[in-house]
């Protein structure tokens, strides 16, 4: 059973969540969105996707939530450090200013001093170098070991959805193959009748032209044979029937065969066109139009098979 190229899969474990989205594309095309500190994971995610998917436009989204709620393996918590020596120097400088202004009379009371030099915690934190925030440190190997099972679960969910969609596509394509085959069989039955009808029309025309003269049976046979040769579509009918059977076999396989199906569809269309161009009968022409319509419907569905 073939896989569709359209699908979605998502998984989450702890603070790590990951999604895969795919749509049809002629080749393998991968893009991802990951946290800025995890750009190294893009190539690993690409390799993982390519190990399971051969065609399609694949989008991957990796999210790592804040570490406050749950610790994320491989990512350390941010670290706040205080330079106590520098803070003491700031306080000494402030105390010196307070003492200087108190003695000079610019600040004569405690209230005035606090108003001039009082420091809130927020102001103290803004003093350069006193408080430093060290960003989280990442252990790439440990973090990847945590991301990998989430990615594999998301990918498995994607494959399950693509398989279900592939089953639906297969059923639809088979229904069109049945209609195509029915129209082809009807056309095959009409081909001998077309030759006989031409022979009868030719004989009637020759008798009309020659009037009282007898019709040359050899000449009539020769002209009929030439017509039959020019309009012979036995090979085209046989090849188109073979393509239908081959496509059914491909649709039963789990191997990647999107390009093969696309090629077969082109060949089906070519054989149908040849039958139509050789046909001298309106009934066969109508059947060819039905066949081409079914081939086009098959082509549209085949475009989404991996």
What residues form DSSP beta bridges with 56?
Answer: 28
| Helix extents (H) in 64-212 | 84-104, 110-117, 121-125, 140-210
The per-residue pLDDT for 108 is: 47
For a pLDDT cut of 90, what percent of the chain falls above it?
Answer: 42
For a pLDDT cut of 70, what percent of the chain falls above it?
Answer: 72
Backbone angles phi, psi at 187, to 5 degrees: -65, -40
Average of pLDDT values for 207-231?
A: 56
Q: Give the contacts of 23 (CB within 8 A, at least 6 positions apart).
A: 5, 6, 56, 57
Give this prediction's pTM: 0.67
User: What does the pLDDT look like over 86-110, one tens digit per residue?
Assistant: 777 777 777 776 666 555 555 445 4
Q: Above 60 in pLDDT, residue 296? A: yes
Q: What is the 3-state secondary structure (H, E, C) of 237-292?
A: HHHHHHHHHHHHHHHCCCCCCHHHHHHHHHHHHHHHHHHHHHCCCHHHHHHHHHHH
d(CA 271, CA 280): 16
**How many other C-beta atoms lie within 10 A of the C-beta of residue 39?**
10
Kindly indicate the confidence band of residue 113, based on its pLDDT and cuts at 50, 70 and 90.
very low
Handedness of CA 226, 288, 243, 188 (dihedral sign): negative
Q: Above 90 in pLDDT, residue 233? A: no
Residue 33 to residues 42, 138, 246, Cα–Cα distance (Å): 8, 18, 41
Average of pLDDT values for 38-49?
A: 94
3-state secondary structure of 40: coil
d(CA 180, CA 170): 15
Give the DSSP H or E segment for 22: strand 16-23
Kindly indicate the confidence band of residue 180, based on its pLDDT and cuts at 50, 70 and 90.
very high
Average of pLDDT values for 264-269?
A: 94
């Amino acid at each position: 059973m073939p896989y569709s190229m359209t699908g979605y899969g998502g998984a989450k474990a702890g603070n790590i969540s990951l999604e895969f989205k795919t749509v049809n594309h002629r080749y393998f095309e991968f893009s991802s969105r990951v946290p800025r500190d995890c750009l190294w994971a893009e190539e690993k995610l690409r390799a993982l996707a390519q190990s399971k998917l051969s065609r399609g436009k694949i989008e991957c989204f990796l999210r790592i939530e804040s570490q406050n709620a749950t610790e994320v393996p491989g990512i350390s918590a941010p670290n706040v450090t205080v330079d106590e020596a520098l803070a003491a120097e700031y306080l000494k400088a402030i105390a010196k200013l307070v003492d200087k202004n108190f003695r000079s009379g610019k600040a004569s009371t405690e209230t005035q001093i606090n108003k001039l030099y009082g420091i809130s915690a927020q102001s103290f934190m803004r003093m350069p170098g006193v408080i430093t925030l060290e960003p989280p440190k990442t252990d790439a190997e440990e973090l990847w070991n945590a991301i990998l099972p989430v990615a594999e679960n998301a990918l498995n969910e994607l494959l399950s959805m693509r398989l279900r969609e592939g089953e639906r596509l297969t059923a639809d394509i088979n229904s069109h193959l049945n209609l195509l085959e029915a129209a082809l069989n009807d056309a095959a039955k009409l081909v001998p009748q077309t030759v006989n009808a031409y022979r009868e029309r030719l004989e009637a025309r020759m008798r009309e032209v020659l009037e009282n003269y007898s019709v040359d049976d050899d000449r009539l046979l020769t002209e009929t044979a030439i017509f039959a040769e020019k309009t012979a579509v036995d090979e085209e009918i046989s090849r188109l029937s073979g393509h239908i059977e081959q496509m059914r076999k491909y649709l039963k396989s789990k191997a990647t065969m999107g390009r093969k199906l696309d090629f077969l569809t082109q060949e089906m269309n070519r054989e149908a066109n040849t039958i139509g161009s050789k046909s001298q009968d309106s009934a066969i022409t109508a059947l060819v139009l039905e066949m081409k319509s079914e081939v086009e419907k098959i082509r549209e569905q085949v475009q989404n098979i991996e």
